[in-house]
Structure 1
Amino acid sequence: MIQTQTSRDPRAEASPSGRAGRGQDIIGAQISMREVTKKYGAFVAADRISLDVEPGEFITLLGPSGSGKTTLLNLLAGFQRIDGGDILIDGKPITNVPTHRRGFGMVFQSYALFPNMTVAQNVAFPMRMAGLDRATSDRRVAETLEMMRLSEHAAKTPSEMSGGQQQRVAIARAIVMRPRVVLMDEPLSALDRRLRESIQIELRELHQTIGSTILFVTHDQSEALTMSDRIAVLDKGHIIQVDRPLEIYRHPKSRFVAGFVGESNLIEAEVLERRGDTATLRSKAGHVFQAGSRNVPSIGKVTVLIRPERMALHDGPQPGTAPATVTSALFMGETLRIEAAMEGGETLLIRCPDTAARELPAPGSKIHVGWGPQDCWVLA
């Protein structure tokens, strides 16, 4: 469903813009959430959440079902009332502002296009509701259709278009008024993988062009990593970590973030020594290895994160490698997915590129795995 909430605002005539550093102005608003709380009986869907979103930023709310991400979006949109705290746009509270006066563009999973209208008429609908003159509306619709690569489809009805094209129309209708804030609730989840990846790239380019602040909700980690300036990871009504995608992926601050955002190997180890930028550790299996010293205490036990694609696969023992026994191996096209058990009982997941020289190892076969200090991170 897609809705575009409009107000009679001259911002509809603002020129397209982008994020700072892109050579264009930013039209996006600053969003501030202060101790926002929402309860459904005894269930706390949002537990005193605070979050600041910068003007023109693309931020993704990422988390499993029931984590509170859609609740936050609904509270920001005005579909639900908060039970505590406040939400501010450019420093002004909007708690008592009705949904239709917030001026947000909104895109949801269901397209909800008018079946009896053409593509151009669907996109023009918010401008007609805002009372803009025909010339302005026609010009803005033409600009937006070109931006979304829909110009040649302007006269078609939704039934004559594919799902991906219909979603582009839904997005076009949400941005045609150049809203300062665009809210997106899992808008790509109904699309197939290849089309979803294509529209992800288009949305990033669109964001750089229009300069609106975008709040995007998804449970798809790849989607969040690909599209976002920053990601807010939620769980059980709390924000667990807010950071740039690279930091979220490489330096998660908890086991939950490490496990939820991408695949991970978590190895329990003991600190043997810290020296300069590296620390020497020993796993339960007795494997001694080095890791970057970030977050490493002087002594004690730690949890080490190693992403599957950072593990190197060797046919025989080499300095710094550890023996393991293959428990499963899958051919996945461009990659091989291998699970193996170390002597200490740890299960490792390895992803390596498929090459002509590499055979898919059989379950029960012996392999050796290794990684460098730059390939593993100690959880804080």
Structure 2
Amino acid sequence: MAQTLARRELRLESPDMQAARAIPSQGAIGAGITIRNVVKNYGAFVAADRISLDIEPGEFITLLGPSGSGKTTLLNLLAGFQAPDAGEILVDGAPIQNVPTHRRGFGMVFQSYALFPNMTVAQNVAFPMRMAKMDRATSDRRVAETLEMMRLSDHAGKLPSQMSGGQQQRVAIARAIVMRPRVVLMDEPLSALDRRLRESIQIEIRELHQTIGSTILFVTHDQSEALTMSDRIAVMDAGHIVQIARPAEIYRRPQSRFVASFVGESNLIDAQVVGRDGRVLTLRTPGGQVFEAQSRHGVQDDRATVLVRPERITLHDAPVPGSMPATVTSALFLGEVLRIEVVLDDGQTLLIRCPDIAGRDLPAVGARLNVGWGAADSWVLS
């Protein structure tokens, strides 16, 4: 399987095209990508339902969504592994849906490292250069630069079996970018790594993107990866892009209940609208508690769903204006944060995450306290 993926990855650009195309200088930007009304069906199942997406040259876009949302299908359509049933895909304004995979000139990184086991790190990275018939001096220079970027210079003579999983994935990334492709496609490349290693390589990929300037399309179901690495996130569900925006906008101002629930932990409160003042609504919970929340366009209905992120809720030992009485149902010490669940007197359950502060004790289950938040800490979903 790994060897098959390696062959598929390394055929992305023919030797003739690789040799003919001069390698861009370091820092050159990538290609602009336009996806227009793309459809892909598998029998009765619609994997991509008239998807449209514009990606700026050199942008880092993450496709984020649950299994079956269409993110890998969209990546495969862009790579040329599958053909769309309708719509078109353009790179720098030129349609590519009829261009074979090996002529698109994209770099590819898979979850499987797909390294050649009998080649050293340097030989694995140099393989695309060798297939392109690059001269030895150019190849050696480019390989050395790329290994330095990926912090692999000290491992150039090792075989893949002598390296950790994280190091092997760095080699796979180095091989994908050694030709400085206009576009790099990454299909959940970090999912097999442990948490600490994932976080480390996330930062390295982000720094790499800023260095080489290729357009990157990154597929993941991990929300923390998407928030950490992306210029913009396209959240997908059931073959649609349901929201695309910068990470902070996706997290703080989701456009739907699905996005609010999928990206980050969330408290969703159903309440009655009792007042409006521009973008600020006054709402009342079923238990009669009144609070304020911000709204994007102004809600015309009498009822609304309000998002309050767990870290935006504050705890009070005694009642303060705008606070609500609650009972602790769960309290966990997680190191840097405390994770507390409470239930309001009207039965609404809230999750709270607050930093571990010296002198703050973990509340006991059954303890009574007060919780609150401001209008800027909550968001009315459209």
Q: TM-score, normalised by structure 1?
A: 0.95
Structure 1 segment 341-360 matched on structure 2, within 5 A = 341-360=343-362
Specify the code of the residue in structure 2 equivalent to 1:326.
V
Is contact 1:271-1:281 (8 Å) kept? Answer: yes
Aligned mates of 2:301, 2:197 — CA distance in 1: 49
Is contact 1:273-1:298 (8 Å) kept? Answer: no
Structure 2 match to 1:21 = none
Aligned mates of 2:300, 2:217 — CA distance in 1: 40
- How many pairs were matched up? 372
Is contact 1:123-1:176 (8 Å) kept? Answer: yes
Other structure's SS at 1:252 match:
coil
Per-residue deviation, 1:263: 0.5
Specify the code of the residue in structure 2 equivalent to 1:6.
E
Structure 1 match to 2:86 = 84
Other structure's SS at 1:112 match:
coil
Structure 1 match to 2:338 = 336
Aligned mates of 1:76, 1:188 — CA distance in 2: 20
1:18-52 per-position Cα deviation (integer Å, ceiling 9, x unaligned): xxxxxxx42x1111111111111111111111111
| 2:26 aligns with one of 4, 16, 19 | 16
1:268-318 per-position Cα deviation (integer Å, ceiling 9, x unaligned): 122222224533221222111122243332561111110000000112211
| 1:306 aligns with one of 305, 308, 322 | 308
Structure 1 match to 2:13 = 6
Structure 1 match to 2:104 = 102
Aligned mates of 1:12, 1:315 — CA distance in 2: 67
Structure 2 match to 1:129 = 131
Structure 2 match to 1:20 = none
CA RMSD, 1 decimal: 1.3
Q: Which sections of structure 1, spanning at least 5 residues, go unmatched?
A: 18-24
Residue identity (%): 75
Specify the code of the residue in structure 2 equivalent to 1:332.
L
1:260 equivalent to 2:270? Answer no
Structure 1 segment 108-147 matched on structure 2, within 5 A = 108-147=110-149
Structure 1 segments of 4 or more deviating over 6 A?
none
| 1:242 aligns with one of 227, 244, 256 | 244
Segment drifting more, 4-13 vs 43-52: 4-13
Aligned mates of 2:169, 2:84 — CA distance in 1: 30
Aligned mates of 1:293, 1:262 — CA distance in 2: 19
Structure 1 segment 193-342 matched on structure 2, within 5 A = 193-297=195-299, 300-342=302-344
Per-residue deviation, 1:12: 4.8
C-alpha change, 1:12 and 1:342, in structure 2 (3 Å) is: farther
Is contact 2:295-2:381 (8 Å) kept? Answer: no
Aligned mates of 2:158, 2:289 — CA distance in 1: 64
Segment drifting more, 360-369 vs 63-72: 360-369
Per-residue deviation, 1:13: 2.3
Specify the code of the residue in structure 2 equivalent to 1:15.
S
Structure 1 match to 2:45 = 43
Q: TM-score, normalised by structure 2?
A: 0.95
Per-residue deviation, 1:223: 0.4
Is contact 1:182-1:213 (8 Å) kept? Answer: yes
Other structure's SS at 1:100 match:
coil
Specify the code of the residue in structure 2 equivalent to 1:125.
F
Aligned mates of 1:13, 1:89 — CA distance in 2: 18
Per-residue deviation, 1:377: 0.8
Aligned mates of 1:67, 1:162 — CA distance in 2: 31
Is contact 2:279-2:297 (8 Å) kept? Answer: no
1:180 equivalent to 2:182? Answer yes
Specify the code of the residue in structure 1 equivalent to 2:24.
A
C-alpha change, 1:93 and 1:293, in structure 2 (3 Å) is: closer
Aligned mates of 2:319, 2:159 — CA distance in 1: 63
Structure 2 match to 1:22 = none
Structure 2 match to 1:31 = 33
Per-residue deviation, 1:67: 0.4
Specify the code of the residue in structure 1 equivalent to 2:208.
L
Is contact 1:29-1:55 (8 Å) kept? Answer: yes
Is contact 1:271-1:298 (8 Å) kept? Answer: no
Aligned mates of 1:290, 1:324 — CA distance in 2: 18
